[in-house]
Structure 1
């Protein structure tokens, strides 16, 4: 019974995500939620967390980002290592995450 309830919640979440933003892929949502879970995470750490390749993460961060994308994620240069960028949700990203997690 517990598994059935969990599956029902997962299906509801995917359905709601599709209604909110039909163009967002599940992989993009995975990256977005990883950034929400770990504010300040860098792209290499997102690769480890999600199991996705660096090129895949880069593409999804671009599509979620402020400059070229949906404006949900902001990348800023890390003070400790200027070669790396840390990722944070924008105000719009925080609102979006709150909205989709509200369905759980």
Structure 2
């Protein structure tokens, strides 16, 4: 029988490293822009898909409904996001960035890319592409969509 060593257990290592990266990014977004990680994710997804529903954001980001709802409420209260009834689903609302939201995104996006470079810049381009491909493959396996 094998012995479980937590520090060598891949799910633990993945979670631990993910938490370290998220915490570093969260501190930066909070201090510079007053955004939580869920709020930043909403801003980024809405910037890519203006007029997106909260349900679609949940699907795209893997965040739960309550987290998305709270972030949407906070961003709407700050005037960064506008809500409009969805033309395709009467029970839902489409979210879009306001002018102020687009201006914030224009400031945050370059900082996000800078942080990514700081954290992952020590990896070569091929190594980073392979790492991302591996993460996507793990996503698919966990979702039941492939090996």
Q: Which TM class, normalised by the smaller chain length?
A: 0.7 to 0.9
Structure 2 residues not aligned, in runs of 5+:
1-20, 114-147
How big is the shift at 1:21? 2.1
Check whether the contact 2:33–2:108 (CA below 8 A) recurs between aligned residues: no
Q: Greater CA radius of gyration, 1 or 2? A: 2
CA RMSD across the alignment: 2.1
- What are the ranges of 5 or more consecutive residues in structure 1 without an aligned counterpart? 1-9
Greater relative contact order: 1 or 2 (C-alpha under 8 angstroms, separation 6 or more)? 1
Scaled by the length of structure 1, what TM-score is found?
0.75
**1:79 match: secondary structure:** coil
Q: Is the 8 A contact 1:16 1:100 kept in 2?
A: no
Matched length: 90
Q: Deviations over 1:4-47 (max 9, x none)?
A: xxxxxx89x9365334323x211210111111111111010000
Question: What is residue 18 of structure 1 aligned with on the other side?
Answer: 30
Higher helix content, 1 or 2: 2
> Does 1:85 pair with 2:97?
no
